[in-house]
Amino acid sequence: MKILLAEDTADLNRVICAMLEHEGYTVDSVFDGEAASEKLDESGYDGIILDIMMPKKDGIAVLTDARAMNITTPVLMLTAKAEVDDRVAGLDAGADDYLAKPFAMKELMARVRAMTRRHVTYNSSLLSYGDFSLDSGDLSLISENSVRLSLKEFELMQLFTEHAGVALSEDFILTHIWSDDENAGADTVWLYCNYLRRKLMTVQSSAEILGHRGGEYRLK
C-alpha cells in the first residue's frame, strides 16, 4: 500500500518513513503542506499521515482542500498540541484518526494498519490489455516501464481492463470501487481517472481512458 507522509521535522520524518517501509508500505515523504497538496493532486494513496503544524500550509488546510477535491483517502493527523480544539478541528475537517506527539512508533503503526486495512481478492495475478499489464502481486502497471499504483488506482484500472472498450457509468464505477465510502462521488471518479491517465503516460502505454466528469468512462 502507498502512504503519503507530511511531517516537517526531518528526524521524525525519517524514522516514520523507515518504520512504514519496514512494514511493507511504499512512502512518499514531504516536509510542508504545499508539497503535500501537490502530491495529492498527482497521485492516489491508500493512507495519508499529516502533521498539523507545518510550514507554508498547515495540515488542516491540506486536509480541507483534499476533502473539497473529493479525495476520500483515510487520514491520520499528527499534532504536538494536546488541546481538544486541535483534535476537533482535525476531525471536523475530515480526519479519520489523530495521534498526539510524542507517541510510540508501535502505536503509530497500529493506527496506520487500522486506517489502511482492506480485504481485496484479485482474479488473476497478471491481467493484460493492449500494451500494458497489471500485476496484483505488487500493484504495478507495466508497459515500457512500470509504476506502482495505490490500491484504489489498481482496483479502478483492473475494472477498466476487465471491461476494456465498454463505456462505464459513474454509478457503475462507484458501486464496484467505492461501495464502502458514502462520501465518494463523481469528483472522486474523475480524480482517479486523471491519476490513471498520468500513470499510463508514465509507463508510455498507448492505452487511454476516455470520458469526462459527469459522463461515462472507457478504456481503449
The secondary structure of residue 214, as a DSSP letter, is T
pLDDT at 111: 87
pLDDT at 120: 44
Let me know if domain 126-219 sits in CATH 1.10.10.2520. Answer: no
Break the chain into its structural domains and give their ranges.
2-116, 126-219
Query: Residues 215, 212, 42, 98: what is their CA dihedral angle, to the nearest 10 degrees?
Result: -20
Please give the Cα distance from 133 to 151 (Å, whole number): 16
pLDDT at 125: 67
pLDDT at 205: 95
Bridging pattern class, strands 97-100 and 75-79: parallel
pTM of the model: 0.68
pLDDT at 46: 84
Architecture of domain 2-116 in CATH?
Answer: 3-Layer(aba) Sandwich (3.40)
User: Which residues of the chain fall below pLDDT 70?
Assistant: 70, 81-87, 118-125
Bridging pattern class, strands 146-148 and 209-211: unpaired
pLDDT at 10: 93
pLDDT at 115: 82
pLDDT at 5: 97
User: Cα separations (Å) of 139 from 12, 48, 146, 183, 218?
Assistant: 28, 18, 10, 25, 21
Angle between helix 186-202 and helix 151-162 axes, rounded to 10 deg: 90
pLDDT at 37: 94
Same fold, 2-116 and 126-219: no
